[in-house]
Amino acid sequence: MKILVLGGSGFLGSHIVDCFLRNRHEVAVFDLYPERFRRSPNGIQFFTGDFGNVGALDELIAGGFDAVIHCVSTTTPKSSNESPEFDIQSNVIGTLHLLDVCVRHKVGKLVFLSSGGTVYGDIGKLDLVDESHPVRPMCSYGVSKLSIEHYLDVYRQLRGLNYVSLRLSNPYGERQSPHRALGALTVFLHRTLKRQTVEVWGDGAVTRDFIYVGDVANAVYLATISPISGVFNVGTGTGLSLRDILSQISKVVGIEPSVSWLASRSFDVPRIVLDSTKLMDATNWKCGTSLHEGIAITAEWLRKTDF
């Protein structure tokens, strides 16, 4: 297959690129810059450009692709609330332009990386949430992701665009910057290794579904090559509180984290853990990396990387 990865130099995108290369597909990357933490892998075509540059996207996609994988996001849950207008313009409107381009050039499938951590909102004490659960985002980031999902379905019905939307839980792993606002596990791990204070918003009871990035990349790969469409969760199905994560980090690296407890944030839902049965049944995907193994891999990378 001939694959285009939008945002392929980023954390998720770079692992997705690796997965397709391992399986001997033809891969192109469109991003603002080459990868930050390593040289771009051999075998890819790299195109420099801004996601908002519709003309550049149109010219590139006119070359013909079996699938386009959309990893671009210009905001985080926190920053999206600071400027919802920018969130909508850069993410929702930008993606609508992309959909038009994909339809015009008859792209075989569009795979969109959505957010299982934000689109569902507060699920109360429910153990697991599947794709049929009501969606009530509590931040602009989740609203934008959900809006794009709805537009994808509109384009499927009206213009024949084949798509898969993957609602990811909380990815972590190597090549995730510990200095960004996303990625609690990687941030906590980095600060622990540096013997710096870990900042935790709230009392540490916030519970999430932490998934190793390699398992996410494999889910994207299988969703792309399999004859499936629609919305699918991608998570481990195991909920861990922030206190649990701090404890696991301590066990793996042998350092007790120093914690500063801060006031809770209104947009942090208390609990979100994803049921990924639908994806597993459709593609035989499964999580192959334990939390202990994933933390160890990430810690080794952090130790070798100069920040």
- Indicate whether 88 pLDDT > 90: yes
Contact 34, 40 (CB under 8 A): yes
Indicate the pLDDT class of residue 153, thresholds 50, 70 and 90. very high
Q: Tell me whether residue 121 is in a domain.
A: yes
pLDDT of residue 125: 82
| pLDDT over 90 (residue 210) | yes
Cα dihedral 57, 58, 61, 62, rounded to 10, equals -160
Answer whether residue 95 shows pLDDT above 80: yes
Residue 148 lies in a domain: yes
Q: Average pLDDT of 231-249? A: 97
Whether 117 maps to a domain, the answer reads yes
Say what the pLDDT of residue 182 is: 81
Q: 111 lies in a domain? A: yes
**Domain housing 20:** 2-172+210-236
Residue 46 and residue 33: Cα distance in Å, rounded? 9
Model confidence band, residue 266 (pLDDT cutoffs 50, 70, 90):
confident
Q: How many domains does the chain have?
A: 1
Q: How far apart are CA 158 and CA 152, in angstroms?
A: 10
Helices (H) and strands (E) in the chain, counts: 12, 13
Residues 52/25, Cβ–Cβ less than 8 Å: no
Residue 55, pLDDT > 80, answer: yes
- What is the chain's mean pLDDT, rounded? 96
Within-domain flag for 297: no
- DSSP states of 178-240 as a string? TTSSS-HHHHHHHHHHTT-EEEEESSS--EE-EEEHHHHHHHHHHHHHSS--EEEEE--S--E
Q: What's the CA gap between 257 and 250, in Å, rounded?
A: 7
Tell me what pLDDT residue 18 has.
98
Residues belonging to the active site: 141
What pLDDT digit, counting tens, does each position of 158-202 carry?
999 999 999 999 999 999 999 987 899 999 999 999 999 999 999
DSSP string for residues in 22-72: HTT-EEEEEESSS-SSSPPPTTEEEEE--TT-HHHHHHHHTT--SEEEE--
Average pLDDT over residues 20-48: 96
CATH number for the domain that contains residue 149 = 3.40.50.720
* pLDDT surpasses 80 at 149: yes
- Cα separation, 83 vs 166, whole angstroms: 25
**Percent of the chain residues topping a pLDDT of 70:** 100
Beta-strand pair 240-241/207-208: antiparallel
229 located within any domain: yes
The beta strands (E) that lie in 60-188 are given as 67-70, 109-115, 163-168, 170-172
- Length, in residues, of the chain: 307
Asked whether residue 253 is domain-assigned, the answer is: no
- Rounded to whole angstroms, what are the CA distances from 93 to 74, 148, 161? 12, 9, 17
User: Cα separation of 257 and 302, whole Å?
Assistant: 16
Q: Read off the pLDDT band of 78 (50, 70, 90).
A: confident
Instruction: Give just the sign of the alpha carbon dihedral 120, 209, 279, 180.
Output: positive
Is 222 within a domain? yes
Helix (H) or strand (E) holding 245: helix 242-253
In 3-state terms, what secondary structure has residue 171? strand
Q: How many C-beta atoms lie closer than 10 Å to residue 292's C-beta?
A: 11
